[in-house]
Structure 1
Amino acid sequence: MYAGLKHLRSLFVLIVLAFSSFSNANTNANDEDNITIIKCGTLIDGVSDAAKLNKYILIKDNIITAIKDEIDIPESATLIDLSSCTVLPGLIDAHTHICLNPEDEKPAILYKSIPFRTLEGAYFARKTLEAGFTTLRDMDSEGAGFADVAIRDAIDQGLMIGPRLQVSTLAISITGGHMNIKGLAPGIDVPQEAAIADTPEEKLKQVRYQIKHGANWIKIYTTGTTRHINPKTFEPLTQMSLEEVKMIVEEAKRWDVPVAAHAYGGDGAANAILGGVRSIEHGFFLSDNQLQEMAKRGTYWIPTIKVYIPESEARRNEPLRKKILSSHQHALQKAMDLGVKIAFGTDAGAYTHAANADEFEVMVGYGMSPMQAIKSATIVAAELMRLEDRIGSIEPGKYADIIAVKSNPLKDISALKDVSFVMKNGIAYKNNY
């Protein structure tokens, strides 16, 4: 009996060793499988202050494993020759609305179904990926319910092609405020483009409700829109008190969800900053003191400049439009002087989808260096989204989110408007180099 057990034990050991050897052989055999090598002419890695020349990026599956000057290319590896191009990290737009169509002449919430807007948003998401933006932070579905969550999840599950998404579902506003449809007879019951919440209890419930249904961010409107700006003093309408903002931030923090505030300036912006939000959206009337407080606290700013130039609602009010543009430029220059963290965002949806890179020209025109503008759309935006360990730069250990353009954007930032190669998570979706 003991001899039989000893024999079985020996046989078991041999089987384990055999499977181990087979497994090791497979591992060794697969070491060169799923290898992609990108040959770069010029490399802007998203973190360095200068471009690098003639580098090789080694990718295993979907992860960057090395950046080298020289490399032995395995026969089984896929070589992508971008030696005539400038290679960059996949771009990040930190303020979009993929469920909005900027060409709509009527409110989508009244004339389009949520299923249609979901499909439309999926189309815009793919077009934006093809334009070189591999990650988006979508800031309010604008009445499309949880369509942004559905699009995000479908992309993550491989059901459709699009950028990596973080979403904020329905933003929180107040009765009569931004995104609360008005102008109709009191008896008409219409859907709303935001989650309307007036009391502290209602606001807390909405924070929990949005998070329950998949929000990565809570977005709040602490000021109104351009229609709510006082035409004489240029003071934006304040929509939330400091205490309300603090309450929302604290509740969202319990769920590990950050808060973004639509805030043009004035008391609404001050309440958002002092209340502890992670980011200020738009902020064209931010004061020097408010920017200084943002720098002190590490609050991010997403300026979204371009949308207010040709397509602003304020274009109907030329004095207001001029005030917005001049204030925006001053605020951007002051923010750079103070060291405020500036992340790239376009308000696409109010602005043309897939034309996101237009924002770069304005940022550079307002005083940013091309490298600063590129970093705002790569590593800084990744840090805003708390994804800097995975995206935002071309470094070992990060996802292979990589794009290429045919000329050097450090010499002409408009080069980013014509992206010829797009890879997201190790898969090439555009290859026109």
Structure 2
Amino acid sequence: MKKLLCGLVGGLVGGLGCGLVAGFAASAICLAQDAAPAKHVVVLHAARMLDVAAGKLVAPGEVLVEGERIVAVGPQVERPAGAEMIDLGDATLMPGLIDAHVHLFLHPGAEDLQTVQESVPERTLIAAGAAKADLMAGFTAERDMGTEGAGCADVAVRNAINSGLIPGPRMRMSCNAIDLTGGHEDAIGYNPAQRVLSNADYADSSEEIVKVMREQRKGGADFTKVYETGRDLFHDGGFETPYQYTEAELAAAVKEAERTGGGAGSGRGVAVHATGEPGTGFAVAAGVASVDHAYQLSDATMKAMKEKQIYAVPTFAIAEYFAEHAATPARAEWDRTEQTYHAAEFKKQLAAGVPMVVGSDVGPFPHGTQARELELMVEFGMKPAAVLQADLLNGARLLGWAGKIGELKAGYFADVIAVPGDPLVDISATTKVSFVMKNGVVYKRP
């Protein structure tokens, strides 16, 4: 239509006696209007490049980026005229990291007090800073597992990132988590007369769960987080944690998510905070997308997770931080006991074929330091290549971005980082990110 109008304008100008020059001028204006802005072209070069799926390095490695997409990868790619060349030297190019369990609205300190003392506007500004810190550490995609009382303020952060107002990862947001009255994240221990608000949204039945989910999706939530267990106890040498919702109640949540497009691989399903049985078993039987923390899984639950490809998200880094920063020696010892127990169970889960995704629970510990989670997963039994595949391939699937992020391939979004050395030999390379590109935009360079 624009070309047709331009032709008519040119003809009209010429017909009115403005002459050949006026006709050419009109045509030139129209051509300028039609011309799309040229996409910025970048060639990234480094000594090595990670092939995630194959679990090997390509040497040297190059990535051709046009606009927000990867156009080509290989030992050598085309160098179009005018392309920006970025030589990262003795480094390894790899896809941007993924953290499937973060809390942008939390920071180190007493969680129960910060959510009471800090206003939602203040916490939203803190979240914006946290998003930037995570991006600069190489995490180009994340899933925020609840604002801890800030409602759907996370949606504003996601939208601001997507519109370019603030820097940050690609985000999946859940608004508040969902919890029972008196449940794991309720404001327990305060004077009831003060009516201190819960850090989650209350739901005490299947019907209420669905109602809250609908309200959250209306507010812009991508997925749903449910508290399924807590508090955790060690009793007579065994691990115990009460469940909150029945299998039927969780199944109602899964069904509601599916009704609004939250099927497998969508990034819009149901994730549960679930540390042990029977809650972990109820969640898996209901068909949730992920079991976060997953300290204890029965043989039957592990078998079902493998068959259904339901991901475990271990979150070792947060437990380590709590142990190192506990208020009392007794609390530190309890945290270390839980971590030791979880590490032993983690080995059983790996042997059973439970699919893993990397999630750190960052927030209560400093944002931008969560690559420690990858180190701990290696320390507790995984090979570096397997951890990177859990992070990048499984993480992309869990967040609903499989085929778009998590690998350096033509057609994928240009989310690229660089690390020193060989991450397949030393996973700690992921804690030393020197270059960050997200969506074709460079945010950090040596």
Which of the numbers 394, 402, 409 marks the counterpart of 1:395? 409
Which of the numbers 116, 119, 122 marks the counterpart of 1:110? 116
Which of the numbers 58, 62, 71 marks the counterpart of 1:56? 62
2:121 alignment partner AA: P
- The structural deviation recorded for 1:293 is 1.3
Counterpart check, 1:121 vs 2:127: yes
Question: 1: CA distance between counterparts of 2:283 and 2:235?
Answer: 23
Between 345-354 and 318-327, the greater mean CA deviation after superposition: 318-327
- In the other structure, the counterpart of 1:254 is 259
1:415 alignment partner AA: A
Counterpart check, 1:74 vs 2:74: no
- The structural deviation recorded for 1:56 is 1.8
Go from structure 1 to structure 2 and tell me whether the alpha carbon gap of 1:254 and 1:316 turns closer, same or farther (over 3 Å shift): farther
Which of the numbers 280, 294, 311 marks the counterpart of 1:269? 280
Contact 2:161 2:168 in 1 (8 A): yes
Go from structure 1 to structure 2 and tell me whether the alpha carbon gap of 1:207 and 1:55 turns closer, same or farther (over 3 Å shift): same
What's the RMSD between the two structures over aligned residues? 2.9
Question: 2: CA distance between counterparts of 1:69 and 1:361?
Answer: 28
Which of the numbers 47, 52, 71 marks the counterpart of 1:41? 47
Counterpart check, 1:335 vs 2:345: no
- In the other structure, the counterpart of 2:399 is 385
Give the 3-state SS of the residue equivalent to 1:403 in structure 2: strand
Question: 1: CA distance between counterparts of 2:134 and 2:420?
Answer: 19
- The structural deviation recorded for 1:184 is 2.3
- In the other structure, the counterpart of 1:5 is none
- In the other structure, the counterpart of 2:309 is 298
Q: Give the TM-score of the pair, scaled to structure 1.
A: 0.90
Identity %: 35
Question: 2: CA distance between counterparts of 1:105 and 1:330?
Answer: 28
- In the other structure, the counterpart of 1:430 is 444
Q: Deviations over 1:179-199 (max 9, x none)?
A: 100122332222210011112
Contact 1:234 1:320 in 2 (8 A): no
Go from structure 1 to structure 2 and tell me whether the alpha carbon gap of 1:85 and 1:319 turns closer, same or farther (over 3 Å shift): closer
- The structural deviation recorded for 1:77 is 0.3
1:330 alignment partner AA: A
- In the other structure, the counterpart of 1:92 is 98
- In the other structure, the counterpart of 1:140 is 146
Go from structure 1 to structure 2 and tell me whether the alpha carbon gap of 1:422 and 1:185 turns closer, same or farther (over 3 Å shift): same
- The structural deviation recorded for 1:65 is 0.7
Between 310-319 and 399-408, the greater mean CA deviation after superposition: 310-319
- In the other structure, the counterpart of 1:240 is 245
Q: Deviations over 1:125-182 (max 9, x none)?
A: 1011000001110000001121211110111111111111101111111111111001
Q: Deviations over 1:338-382 (max 9, x none)?
A: 322211000001222110111111111111111111122212100
Question: 2: CA distance between counterparts of 1:45 and 1:147?
Answer: 37
Contact 1:124 1:353 in 2 (8 A): yes
Go from structure 1 to structure 2 and tell me whether the alpha carbon gap of 1:413 and 1:59 turns closer, same or farther (over 3 Å shift): same
Go from structure 1 to structure 2 and tell me whether the alpha carbon gap of 1:324 and 1:249 turns closer, same or farther (over 3 Å shift): same
Go from structure 1 to structure 2 and tell me whether the alpha carbon gap of 1:317 and 1:112 turns closer, same or farther (over 3 Å shift): closer
Counterpart check, 1:404 vs 2:418: yes
Between 330-339 and 244-253, the greater mean CA deviation after superposition: 330-339
Question: 1: CA distance between counterparts of 2:408 and 2:320?
Answer: 33
Question: 2: CA distance between counterparts of 1:236 and 1:291?
Answer: 18
Contact 2:42 2:86 in 1 (8 A): yes
Q: Deviations over 1:318-349 (max 9, x none)?
A: 77545522332233223322322211000001
- In the other structure, the counterpart of 2:218 is 212
- The structural deviation recorded for 1:67 is 1.1
Question: 2: CA distance between counterparts of 1:110 and 1:70?
Answer: 54
Go from structure 1 to structure 2 and tell me whether the alpha carbon gap of 1:22 and 1:272 turns closer, same or farther (over 3 Å shift): same
Contact 2:322 2:335 in 1 (8 A): no
Give the 3-state SS of the residue equivalent to 1:411 in structure 2: coil
Contact 2:56 2:424 in 1 (8 A): no
Between 338-347 and 70-79, the greater mean CA deviation after superposition: 70-79
Contact 1:236 1:265 in 2 (8 A): yes
- The structural deviation recorded for 1:110 is 1.2
Contact 1:142 1:170 in 2 (8 A): yes
Give the 3-state SS of the residue equivalent to 1:301 in structure 2: strand
- In the other structure, the counterpart of 2:206 is 200
Between 326-335 and 165-174, the greater mean CA deviation after superposition: 326-335
2:202 alignment partner AA: I
Go from structure 1 to structure 2 and tell me whether the alpha carbon gap of 1:203 and 1:420 turns closer, same or farther (over 3 Å shift): same
- The structural deviation recorded for 1:104 is 4.3
Which of the numbers 128, 137, 156 marks the counterpart of 1:150? 156
Question: 2: CA distance between counterparts of 1:68 and 1:50?
Answer: 13
Give the 3-state SS of the residue equivalent to 1:187 in structure 2: helix
